């Protein structure tokens, strides 16, 4: 029973992994499932995951699988630190995949929250931000349908979590305009890894 109810590590699937019936592989694959379920990359939930993946490839943290319940999204190992830099990703865009009467506001949720521990099933109810660094991701502009796969159409704003905790300890969300008043570092994809390291304050 412990093997059933304990922590079950996920393993990385491949697009060729097949659905099986009667012990035989069907012609239906994990890749086909992904294409069916996750092709609308402009939808809010998918766009958020795409943003995590893009930052993840910049940081070198996509070798395993996406953590579903961890209190932060990504990690960046840095020499001289006692643990990896913990990174939280937030994403927004003015243009959505559905019909909209006006451009959507560029707004991010960054509320302090509790967190699950997937290894033992416990829940820490303490509402806090558990990352070292936030990366706020904005896709596209106001005048054209964006392509989430075009890394040049993303802009990233990197900010130490301590700035949010000091200036906005209980705030739930923030507009891009308000975020800019906190003076985050604005970078393109190629500058993400370096800037995240800087924002975490270097080795600790």
Q: Is residue 10 a part of any domain in this protein?
A: no
| Domains held by the chain: number | 1
Q: Is residue 152 a part of any domain in this protein?
A: yes
Q: Is residue 23 a part of any domain in this protein?
A: no
State residue 204's pLDDT score. Answer: 39
Least confident segment among 3-12, 140-149, 155-164: 3-12
**Residue 127 lies in domain:** 40-199
pTM for the full predicted model? 0.92
Read off the pLDDT of residues 93-113 as tens digits, 9 standing for 90 and up: 999 888 889 999 999 999 999
Read off the pLDDT of residues 73-89 as tens digits, 9 standing for 90 and up: 999 988 678 899 999 99
- Whether the CA torsion 41, 47, 52, 54 is positive or negative: it is positive
Do 88 and 134 meet the contact criterion of CB atoms below 8 Å apart?
Answer: yes
């Amino acid at each position: 029973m412990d093997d059933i109810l304990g922590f079950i590590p996920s393993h990385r699937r491949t697009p060729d992994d097949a659905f099986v019936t009667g012990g035989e592989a069907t012609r239906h694959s994990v890749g086909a499932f992904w294409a069916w379920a996750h092709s609308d990359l402009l939808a809010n939930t998918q766009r958020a995951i795409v943003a995590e993946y893009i930052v993840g490839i910049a940081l070198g943290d996509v070798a395993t699988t996406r953590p579903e319940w961890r209190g932060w999204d990504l990690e960046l190992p840095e020499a001289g630190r006692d643990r990896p830099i913990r990174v939280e990703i937030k994403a927004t865009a003015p243009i959505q995949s559905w019909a909209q009467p006006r451009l959507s506001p560029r707004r991010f949720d960054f509320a302090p929250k509790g967190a699950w521990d997937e290894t033992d099933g416990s829940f820490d109810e303490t509402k806090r931000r558990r990352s070292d660094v936030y990366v706020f991701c904005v896709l596209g502009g106001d005048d054209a349908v964006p392509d989430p796969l075009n890394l040049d159409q993303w802009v990233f704003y990197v900010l130490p979590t301590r700035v949010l905790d000091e200036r906005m300890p209980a705030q739930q969300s923030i507009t891009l305009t308000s975020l800019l008043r906190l003076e985050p570092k604005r970078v393109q994809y190629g500058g993400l890894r370096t800037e995240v390291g800087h924002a975490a304050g270097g080795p600790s």
